[in-house]
Amino acid sequence: MANHKKPRNPDHVRRVNVPGPQDETLQKQFEELLSPAIYAQSAFYRSLNLRDRILNLPLMIAAILAMLWRQIPSVCELTKTLNREGALWMRPAKVSQPALSKRLLAFPAELFQQVLHSLLPKLRERWQARQRPLPESVSCALHHFERIYAVDGSALEALFRKLNALKDTPAGALAGKICTVIDLAIRLPEQIWYNADALAHDTNFLSKILSMAHAGVLWIFDRGFYDFTFFDDLIERGSHFITRLKSNAVFSVQSALCHTAEIRDRLILLGGTQGACQHTLRLIEVRFGSTWYSYLTSVLDPAILPAHVVADLYRRRWRIEEAFLIVKRLLNLAYLWTGSLNGVLLQVWATWLFFALLIDLGDAVAEELMLPFDRISLEMVFRGLYHFTQAHRRGEATDPIQYLSAPENQDLGVVKRLRKKSVPPLALSTA
């Protein structure tokens, strides 16, 4: 008999070994980072005519972050946690489940958005103050550009309602699409946009990307954003980009910059009679084995971005794919709490806020080990916090960074193993 079982969504694979009960050391670190950002939103919070009751701004932010941190499965369990233990830096507070459910539905998602954007400059300062090696290609690009942005879209494919107040609301199979901009150097989210249509093409976000485009920015994106007018608009705003050449692309060669057995570097005019890019672009083809990989960039001078640097930077676009894997599979953004627009946005912003805190922790571990951040497994840092909380309760550890960096704890897998073989320029991305 044929098996007609639906294939499992890989984003819905449940994992174990999440952080244990709250730990005062981690709570203090979260509070020190977040308190200024939360306080900065007090006036905005009051302007929304939200009463400062028990379920106030600090408590709601702590509760929602605790839901992610502790992987709390339902509002019922969250209510018990708030009543008995408190949430992160907040002491226990007597709240009812119906009141908490209604508050979660009504709590403005833009508050989490504002807190995140208030926090990011502080996290950037912390990143700049640290001393650890940067990848050669990133270091080279930062000599000429202020920011290196990787951008991509990802669908939110399922709806698992945690709020009892929504039990009679029809659930949709698809819950929207997010487009995220990641700073490739520091790995932090710079911007997140939401579209209620999960099938929306990436090109629906082009105008939003252009709103961030200015001189000193290098953009890296896949062929989902392939658009001649978009290319021209980026260049005219002073931005530059790296992407892939479509297999059926029409172009004419203006001049050859380099031609060897391994590299072809040329200036081209992209497009034909049906439409063309108005600016000269650079086509870089890199050979790995018997396969040629083709990249497009608006950076025409090889002295600024050599061919091998362009190829490696595009390979590092995979970092945004890794970010999606973390927020969807590890932090459970694939399991949406509600079907309301505000509820979805609340979870989206809260999850990326927690992701930013996790990035900061991972980068601190990288500094302690004097390793590039690329060598650190963010998933294992997250899972390693479970073991830290247990060790702290036994009196065997006092600092999570020191614990995760200690030689005796490297069996936790915090440091990624080095690949045995060299990686082709696009081995991690075919888009």
Per-residue model confidence as pLDDT tens digits over 68-101:
888 887 788 889 989 998 888 888 888 898 888 8
User: Which comes out higher in pLDDT, residue 375 or 275?
Assistant: 375
Q: 179-195 burial, b if ≥16 CB within 10 A, otherwise e?
A: bbbbbbbbbbbbbbbbb
In a domain, 396, yes or no: yes
Q: What is the CA radius of gyration of the chain?
A: 23
In a domain, 236, yes or no: no
Q: Specify the pLDDT at position 430.
A: 42
Identity at 178, one-letter amino acid code: I
How far is 19 from 17, CA to CA, in rounded Å? 7
In a domain, 160, yes or no: no
Q: Percentage of residues in the chain with pLDDT exceeding 70?
A: 86
Is the pLDDT reported for residue 426 higher than 50? no
Same domain, 377 and 347: no
Confidence of residue 61 (pLDDT cuts 50, 70, 90): confident
In a domain, 78, yes or no: yes
Confidence of residue 429 (pLDDT cuts 50, 70, 90): very low
Confidence of residue 4 (pLDDT cuts 50, 70, 90): low
In a domain, 382, yes or no: yes
Q: 6-19 burial, b if ≥16 CB within 10 A, otherwise e?
A: eeeeebeeeeeebb
Q: Specify the pLDDT at position 421.
A: 54
Q: What is the mean pLDDT of residues 93-117?
A: 87
Q: What is the mean pLDDT of residues 186-203?
A: 90
What does the mean pLDDT of the chain come to? 86
- 57: nearest Cα among 69, 76, 44, 74: 44
Is the pLDDT reported for residue 170 higher than 90? no
How far is 33 from 417, CA to CA, in rounded Å? 31
Q: Specify the pLDDT at position 163.
A: 47
How far is 296 from 181, CA to CA, in rounded Å? 20
Is the pLDDT reported for residue 107 higher than 70? yes
Residues ≥6 apart with Cβ < 8 Å to 422: none
In a domain, 148, yes or no: no
Residue 303 CA neighbour count, 13 Å, CB half: 0
User: Which comes out higher in pLDDT, residue 381 or 25?
Assistant: 381
Confidence of residue 173 (pLDDT cuts 50, 70, 90): very low
Which segment of 12-26, 150-164, 182-196 scores lowest on mean pLDDT?
12-26
In a domain, 15, yes or no: yes
Asked if residue 389 lies in contact with residue 26, where contact means CB atoms within 8 angstroms, the answer is: yes
Span 137-164, pLDDT tens digits: 999 999 999 999 999 999 886 555 544 5
Using DSSP's 3-state secondary structure scheme, residue 419 falls into coil
Q: What is the mean pLDDT of residues 258-280?
A: 91
Q: What is the mean pLDDT of residues 390-418?
A: 92
Same domain, 380 and 350: no
Q: What is the mean pLDDT of residues 331-357?
A: 85
Span 300-323, pLDDT tens digits: 999 999 999 999 999 999 999 999
Q: Specify the pLDDT at position 427.
A: 39
- Tokens coding 376: 């650190």
Confidence of residue 165 (pLDDT cuts 50, 70, 90): very low
Continuous segment of H or E residues that includes residue 356: helix 341-369
Q: Specify the pLDDT at position 392.
A: 87
Residues ≥6 apart with Cβ < 8 Å to 83: 92, 93, 94, 95
Same domain, 82 and 20: yes
Same domain, 351 and 376: no
Q: Specify the pLDDT at position 307.
A: 96
In a domain, 68, yes or no: yes
How far is 18 from 70, CA to CA, in rounded Å? 7
CA 330 to chain centroid, in Å, comes to 12
Same domain, 52 and 103: yes
Which residue range is the domain that position 388 belongs to?
371-412
Span 225-266, pLDDT tens digits: 999 999 999 999 999 999 999 988 999 999 999 999 999 999
Q: Specify the number of domains making up the chain.
A: 2
